[in-house]
Each structure stands twice: as structure tokens, then as C-alpha cells.
Chain A
Amino acid sequence: MARELITGNGAAGYVLAQAGEANRSARGCCCGAYPITPQTEIIEYLRGFEFAKGRVVPVESEHSAMAVCIGASLGGARAFTASSANGLAYMAENVFAAGYFRLPIVMIAVNRTLGPPWNIWADQGDSLALRDAAWVQFYVESHQELVDTILMAFRIAEDSRVMLPVMVCMDGFIVSHTQMVVDLPEQQQVDAYLPTCSIPHRLNVDRPATVGGLAWPRETEHMRHEIQQAMERVPAVLEEARGEFEQVFGRRPHGVMSAEYVDEAETVVVASNTIARTVRNVIEQRRVGGEAIGLVSAKLFRPFPRDAIRAALHDKRRVAVLDRNHSPGSGGIFWQEIAATLQGCDVEVLQDYVVGLGGGDVTPDVVNRIIDDLVKRETSAEPVWEEVTA
């Protein structure tokens, strides 16, 4: 294990390459690569990497980047890529195709604002727009969590009980372009952690099959139900992936979410990505002042971990959800999920705060204002646009 000062993009490229290389004794690896800010350094790194059995294809669009991954995965190889914002939107048709094809592709989504207006900074709206695409989705707080989650992503995606693509989402610039000290794995550790990739429905001239052709309504509904069942198995598979991760790498990575100081708290703040780190710092300071406030740092978004969320929040008096994303005409997207999850529970106030859209800094001051506002509330209200109305 090497400890290195490295950017989020550098770490992501490094670990993707190791994961690809770990499949060299099987059918190899492939990446369809197309640059977009703030993802670009990931594919630059991959293009420069000399794979023993792999190829990074410089394509002409994100749509084709995912199509190359689909072809490689249908060929039985380990496939991965990365994108952001409008690139993810342009790719969308094939993102859905990868999910519905049941292909264990891993994609890094470097969260960036979908334009217009042209804005390159962090916003989760790009990957959350793909929440229904039959991909497992993780949101990570930090560089180390990014590395660990990417490694677990391959295990989960390629597990025969799941066999679904996985998207690992990090904040653009805040993680992608800042440097942190990270434990980076050695190749032999990755080889030990990741079994070679086996895709049961890969195309094979000895067993001709047509994958993705016409299916009638009942058959289609059956396939969709199978995807739902596979999604439901993800939390248990993640638990196994964590345990094996600890055996190989000596540290235990996150699970479906991280609940901190929640048991003794009446008030809990839910956040994801780097905002959760800021919230943690604020909560720890306020605890020194005697306030019992808890944190739920959401990690797994698809499948949405309803049981864990309900267990953590069902008896809380006040819950705030901080969303660096927004569904126009509704509200924050994590908030929608949590509101649906807490149906019938005794939470008095479930308040959504839309913050940091377009990459605005969500500072400790912002979080303190939100908590001050929350603890005064007796009932829930419509989502609050904290920085617009402040």
C-alpha cells in the first residue's frame, strides 16, 4: 500500500487501471474514453497506461464511450469509463442500455452542473438524472472513499447475484481536482480482491444468442422485475464486499450509509458527497456546545437503502436533508427518497434545503444557518432555497 498525495481524478484513473489490469488472466479490459471537464484527467491517465491485456478507445462522443463499454462487456471483458454533466446526458441512452443489458460496467461520474447555463462546478443533478437507468449508484465524500468505492464497485457489479452496472459519483473539482493523502492499493492487492470478470450472457459464437432484441410486454416486465430483485440484493453483497475488503486492505470501507451521533440525537442532518464532511465538522463543533445533532452521510442511492434510513431516522423529531441537486417542480432528490421512506414514521419535521447548486460553496456558516433554522421549525415546509432566500 502506497500513501500518496493525489487528486480525486488521479486516484480514480489509478484504481480503474488496476481493476482493468486485474482481469488480464481472463478476457481483458476496455474503456471507451471521451474527455469532459472535470473528468478529463481520468481518461488521460487511462490512455497513458500500458495494459497487459486491455485497450482504451478514444471515441468521438460519450454516447459511443458507453457503447464501446457495452460491446466490450458483451465480449466478456471488464469495462469502465468516466464522464460528467452534459456528457452523461448525451450518453444517457446507452447508460440505460448498459443497465437493461445487465452489464457490469463501472463508471465514474464526476458531478458537474448540467448546462445551460454553462457551469463546470459540482452539482449532483447530472448523475441523479440517471437514477432510473438500472445502475447501482454510490456518492462519495472523500478521495479515500472514492478509491475504496471504485474497488467495491467492480465486485458488486460483477457479482452473479447483481450483474448490474455501478456508478461512483464524486463532487467535481472539490474532490476531482484537489489533492489529499490517500492509501493507494498495490496491483497484487487488487488482483487478490477482484475475481476475474465472468459475464454469463456474453456473446459467444459457440452459443449463439440475440441479446437485446424484441421482447413482449410480459417478458419485458419480467426482466425489469429481475433487475429490481438484483438491486435488492446489493446491500448484502456490499456487506460481503466490505468484509473482504478489510481482509485484503486492512481497513473497513463504508456501507450503505454512515450514521453518526444519531442514537442520542433528536435532530439529524442528511447529506451526501463532500457536503456531508462539512456537516460533520459543524455537528462536532455544536456537540461541544451541548447540542445533540446527528449526521446521516448517504452513500448508496440506488438501490435506496430504505431499511437503514428508516432505522436511523424513524423516531427523530427533526430531519434536514441537504440537496446539491434539484428536480424542478418538486425539490431535492435525496429529500424525495427520504420522504417516501419515512412514510408513517413519527418524524415531526422533515425539511429539505436546496444548497450549492451550480457548485456554490456550502460553508460551515451555511450549514450552521440551516441547523439554526431547522431547530426552530415545528412543521415541515416546502423545500428551502437556503442561499437564494438568505
Chain B
Amino acid sequence: MSIALTTADQPCEHILRAGNTNCAGCGMSLGLQLLEQGLDGARPTLAIPACCGIVTAGAFPTSGYGVPVAATTFASSAAVATGLSTIAELNEETEPVICWAGDGGTYDIGLATLSAAAERNENIIYICYDNEIYGNTGGQRSSATPEGVRTTTTPKGKCEVKKDIMRIMTAHRIPYAATLSIAHREDFLQKIRTAAATRGFRFLLLLSPCPTGWKSEPDESVDLIEYAVRCGLFPLYEVFDGERYRVNVRPDGTPLEEYTSRQRRYTSADVDLGHLQSEILKQWRLLDGLCNAFPAEGKMAGRAPKRN
């Protein structure tokens, strides 16, 4: 039966094998490598919906992945992962089940599935690599696309604001939620370790540069995320049980323009940087308020799943 015949044509020591066909400068590729480092030898099973992450596998019968992968329908990764993790739990298997999904499959078409899996506190790590577009189909807007930028379906710039998926997910009071940066390796690895050591639903958001969609230089991808964190656009923080907050890296006054000027999705549109800057300040007022009112202190035990 040939659907079962995907072969391992190389040693399988890596989650992402060498020779994959991902674009140069792809934040998702770097994310997969950091994920592996943070897992400290654990061998995950991945559920990947339609997105660049499954194109990464390449063509049958070979695969760019060195771990088991279920290629799910677009909206279904969190539900397929529910089935996989349920059977793993019933058989006392402890290797993690991880959803690896783009923003389209997370913010848009897969949101109901994701919300339901979070509400049930399934024993899943869900990682959204957010490149702020439908990258796989050539760069169309999603609800993760920032206000102002150009995509192939917002030729005059997007007029709506980016959806705040972290607030949506933390509202589910899941045991652990955090943001990830490919420019902050130690922070990234620590959060993977925290997620791996926590039971229940864990949501991680990775801002993932897409040079073809962002119209940026591939060799500047890591720098872009560095600027995004330093200017405050992409806060690095953790939320435990949806109610205890910790900021990991504070903005250092780097101008927003360091981030936007290197991406023609911003520069070719008529983006109001002053407006975006004021939105960043509002975001931080909210986050600081939450951190002050509900600080995360010491070791945070996540809310363990209950089953009946």
C-alpha cells in the first residue's frame, strides 16, 4: 500500500533533514532546527496542516522530515494531534505530539479546531510559525497580516489590524503560552524546554520571516526579528495558565523603521509608521499592566489535563 511507503533515505537524527527545498532565509526552517535543540533528544510526532511546513516534506516517497509526520487537512492539525496524543497517552508513550502550523491554519481556517483543543486542554504543543501571509499560495493576506502592508490580495495595503492570537489563546487559560524569536536562541530553547516539561495544551507563537512574501533579503531574516523584538513590535513573553505573565525581553528604543525599512511589503505601501508606533505603545501598556497585576513568579505549574 503505497501511502505507507515513505522512506527514510538518510539517517534520521534531525527533525528537519538537510536537502529540504525550503527558501533561503525561511524563519520556519530555522524554527524547526531550534525546536529540535530545545527538545533535547525527544522525538516528536508532528501534525502539519496545509502550509509551507508540509511542502518542507518534499515529494513522495522521500521526506524532508526525520520524525513521523501526519499531513492533515488545512483546518485539522489540532484535532488530528488530539487523536495522536490520545493514543500516545493511552499507551503511556511520552514523546511529544506537536502541531506545526502556519498563520492561515492557526488564525483563520483552523481557529475553531485550535480553540476546541485548547479548551479541552489536550496534551499537545501547538507551534504557529507566523509569516503573516498565506505563504504557500504565494503571499495573500491572512488575519495575521499587519495593518498597512501589501500582499497579493491587499494591493493597496491591508486596512485591518492584525489579530492578537496570544490574547485569544491565553483566554483559554491553557497551561503555557509564549512567543518565540529566532534571534533569541537561549530564550527560544528555554521556552521549548518549559513547554516540553508542561502537560496539557501549550501554544507557542513564532514570528517567521518569509523573504519572498515580506520582500526582504534572505540573509537579513534573523536581523529582522531582532529589530521586531527590540522595537517592541513583537514582545517576547510567557503566560502561565492564562493568568500569570512574564516579559522576557523589553524593547530598547530601536526605531520601528529598522524593521519596516528592510521589507518592501511595508515600504511599497503607504504605511503610517506613527500610527503603528502608537499601537506598539498601547500593546505594551496592556502587557505591562497584566505583568504588574498578575506576575509569574518562580516555577509555574501548568493546569494538568483532566479526562473523563
Binding site for B on A (CB under 8 A): 27-28, 30, 32, 53-55, 57-61, 63-65, 67-77, 79, 93-94, 97, 100-102, 163, 200-201, 203-205, 207-216, 219, 222-223, 226, 230
Contact = CB atoms under 8 A, between A and B. Distances in A.
Contacts of A219: 2, 60-61
A71 B83 contact: yes
Contacts of A65: 79
Given A28-B90, A75-B86, A214-B57, A59 B79 contact: yes
B18 interface: no
B125 interface: no
A352 B140 CA distance: 48
Contact of B83 (A60, A75, A100, A213): A75
27 contacts: A27-B90, A28-B91, A54-B90, A55-B90, A57-B82, A64-B79, A64-B112, A64-B113, A67-B72, A67-B73, A70-B70, A70-B76, A71-B83, A72-B86, A75-B88, A79-B83, A94-B73, A205-B45, A205-B67, A207-B68, A209-B5, A209-B6, A209-B69, A210-B69, A211-B4, A211-B69, A211-B71
Contact of A211 (B59, B70, B307): B70
Given A213-B54, A213-B63, A226-B1, A72 B68 contact: no
B66 interface: yes
Contacts of B83: 30, 32, 57, 67-75, 77, 79
B86 A213 contact: no
Interface in B147-168: none
B55 interface: yes
Given A27-B90, A71-B81, A204-B68, A213 B4 contact: no
B123 to A, nearest CB: 11
B84 A213 contact: no
Contact of A28 (B1, B7, B87): B87
Interface residues of B, number: 51
B215 interface: no
Given A30-B86, A61-B113, A209-B8, 18 more contacts: A32-B79, A57-B120, A59-B79, A60-B115, A61-B112, A63-B76, A64-B76, A64-B82, A70-B80, A71-B79, A75-B84, A101-B3, A200-B4, A203-B45, A203-B69, A210-B57, A212-B3, A219-B2
Interface in B274-308: 307
Given A201-B1, A205-B68, A211 B6 contact: yes
B228 interface: no
A209 B68 contact: yes
B218 interface: no
A77 to B, nearest CB: 5
A222 B60 CA distance: 12
Contact of B84 (A54, A71, A208, A212): A71
A100 B4 CA distance: 11
Contacts of B81: 71
A27 to B, nearest CB: 6
B47 interface: yes
A59 B63 contact: no
A200 B6 CA distance: 12
B205 to A, nearest CB: 21
Interface in B1-57: 1-8, 12, 43, 45, 47, 54-55, 57
B37 to A, nearest CB: 18
B215 to A, nearest CB: 26
B43 to A, nearest CB: 4
A201 B70 CA distance: 11
Contact of B113 (A27, A63, A70, A200): A63
Contacts of B120: 57-58
B206 interface: no
B58 interface: yes
Contacts of B60: 210, 213-216, 219
Contacts of B82: 32, 57, 59, 64, 67-68, 71
Interface in B76-109: 76, 78-88, 90-91, 95
Nearest to A54: B90
Contacts of B69: 203, 208-211, 213
B176 interface: no
A58 B67 CA distance: 29
Contacts of B65: 208, 210
Interface in B216-258: none
Contacts of A204: 68
A60 B4 contact: no
Most chain B CB inside 10 Å of its own CB: which residue of A27, A204, A205: A205
Contact of B73 (A28, A69, A76, A93): A93
Most chain B CB inside 10 Å of its own CB: which residue of A65, A69, A203: A203
A72 B91 CA distance: 12
Contacts of B72: 67, 70, 97, 212
B47 A63 contact: no
Given A64-B116, A208-B68, A213-B6, A74 B80 contact: yes
A68 B70 contact: no
B196 interface: no
A64 to B, nearest CB: 4
Contact of B59 (A53, A69, A97, A216): A216
B70 A203 contact: yes
Given A209-B4, A212-B3, A223-B3, A27 B87 contact: yes
B2 A223 contact: yes
B68 A67 contact: no
A63 B75 contact: yes
Contact of A210 (B1, B71, B91): B71
A93 B74 CA distance: 10
